Structures are given as structure tokens and as C-alpha cells.
Amino acid sequence: MENAEAPAPFASGRISEYKPKLGVTPDGKLLVYKRSFFFGGNGTLLYPVPSYIQLKSFFDLLHKEDNHTLALKQTGTSQ
């Protein structure tokens, strides 16, 4: 991989959390991506209309991070 970085984790207090992890198996043959996400912590699921812009921004960021791309570089060896 070239400059492989997982998307940045983020949270909104105890209401939500997005935590991606990126790694490679010890033999270097398998890329592993794990993502944990929750929303509605503390039973917070209803929001007043004025908070819609902030809520939309939160989900826009989630969408952006979920569309994170990685550049893979082919090596000269075939295994």
C-alpha cells in the first residue's frame, strides 16, 4: 500500500462514535478493514429541527469517511 491510512475516527459525546481500523495480516497478504459505528447513545434519537444542519453535517462526514480510498501498489513478486 502507498501511504495507507484509515479514515479518521470521530465521535459526538456519548451520542455516537465512528471508529475505523485498517491493518494488514502478519504475512502481508491480506488487507483488514474494521469499522465500528453507533448512533443514538443514551437513547438520543429525537432532535429539534434547528439541529438538523449539525446532524446532516455529522452524517455527511460519516459518508465521506466511508468512501475513503486506498492506493495499492503491485509488487514485482507473485505469491
> The domain containing residue 62 runs over which residues?
10-66
Question: What CA–CA distance (Å, rounded) separates 58 from 26?
Answer: 35
- 67 and 5 Cβ atoms separated by less than 8 Å: no
* Assigned domain for 38 exists: yes
Tell me the per-residue pLDDT of 42-72, one tens digit each, with 9 for 90 and over: 888 898 999 999 999 999 999 999 898 887 7
- pTM for the model: 0.72
* Assigned domain for 73 exists: no
* Assigned domain for 27 exists: yes
Domains in the chain, number = 1
Tell me the per-residue pLDDT of 13-50, one tens digit each, with 9 for 90 and over: 889 999 999 888 998 888 898 999 999 998 888 989 99
**Cβ neighbours of residue 1 closer than 8 Å, sequence gap 6 or more:** 24, 31, 70, 71, 72, 73
pLDDT of residue 16: 93
Biggest CA pair distance of the chain: 57
